[in-house]
C-alpha cells in the first residue's frame, strides 16, 4: 500500500493545506505518495509516519515539489530484511532513505522547502530528514538533485542508523 494519499499522472496536481498526517504506515510515502504529479504542501503536520522510502512523503517523477510551513517529526524510513532481499535493484536499493521526505524527480525538477521544521526523523540507510535525486535522461543513474531550495528551515536530531547523512542529501 502507498500512503494515505496516493496518486499518479492521471490525477490533477495536489495541494494539501492544514492537514495533519499521523501514525500512517505504508510501502512508499507514509502519508503522501505522488507519482508524476506536482505536490504542494502548506502548513501541514507529519507526525509518526512510516514507510520503506519517505517516512512522510514520497514523490517520484514530479516536476515541482513545494513544501511551506510544515512540521515533520518522528517519521521513519526503514525496511525489513525480506524487503531488502527481494528488491529488484539489490539488497539496499532506495529503501530506508528519507525519514521525512524522499524525492526522485524528473530531470530538471524543482524542489522548494520553506519555513519548515524537521525533528527526530529517522532513516535506516540515510538522510534522516530529506533525500532528493533525479534520474538522468538514460533513466539509469541517480544524481543528487541540484535544484533544491531550503529557506528558513530547522533541522534537529534527524538521524540515520547505517550510513550517509542524518539530515539531508548533499551538496546543500
The mean predicted confidence, pLDDT, of the chain is: 78
User: What tens digit of pLDDT does each residue of 78-107 get?
Assistant: 875 445 444 444 444 568 888 999 888 766
pTM: 0.83
Complete DSSP assignment for 27-57: SB-SSEEEESS-EEEES-EEES-EESB-SSE
Classify residue 68 as exposed, middle or buried by CB count within 10 Å of its CB (0-12, 13-18, 19+).
Answer: middle
Please tell me the distance from the alpha carbon of residue 118 to that of residue 130, in angstroms, as a whole number: 9
pLDDT band at 35 (very low <50, low <70, confident <90, very high): confident
User: What tens digit of pLDDT does each residue of 158-168 get?
Assistant: 988 776 666 66
Amino acid at each position: 500500500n502507498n500512503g494515505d494519499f496516493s496518486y499518479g499522472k492521471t490525477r490533477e496536481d495536489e495541494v494539501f493545506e492544514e492537514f495533519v498526517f499521523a501514525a500512517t504506515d505504508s510501502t512508499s510515502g507514509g502519508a503522501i505518495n505522488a507519482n508524476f504529479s506536482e505536490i504542494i504542501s502548506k502548513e501541514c503536520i507529519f507526525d509518526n509516519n512510516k514507510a520503506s522510502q519517505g517516512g512522510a512523503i514520497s514523490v517520484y517523477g514530479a516536476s515541482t515539489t513545494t513544501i511551506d510551513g510544515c512540521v515533520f517529526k518522528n517519521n521513519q524510513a526503514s525496511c525489513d530484511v525480506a524487503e531488502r532481499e527481494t528488491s529488484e535493484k539489490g539488497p539496499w536499493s532506495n529503501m530506508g532513505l528519507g525519514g521525512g521526505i524522499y524525492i526522485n524527480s524528473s530531470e530538471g525538477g524543482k524542489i522548494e522547502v520553506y519555513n519548515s521544521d524537521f525533528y527526530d526523523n529517522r532513516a535506516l540507510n540515510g538522510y534522516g530528514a530529506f533525500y532528493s535525486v533525479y534520474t538522468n535522461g538514460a533513466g539509469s543513474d541517480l544524481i543528487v538533485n541540484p535544484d533544491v531550495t531550503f529557506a528558513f528551515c530547522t533541522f534537529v536530531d534527524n538521524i540515520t542508523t547505517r550510513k550517509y547523512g542524518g539530515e539531508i542529501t548533499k551538496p546543500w
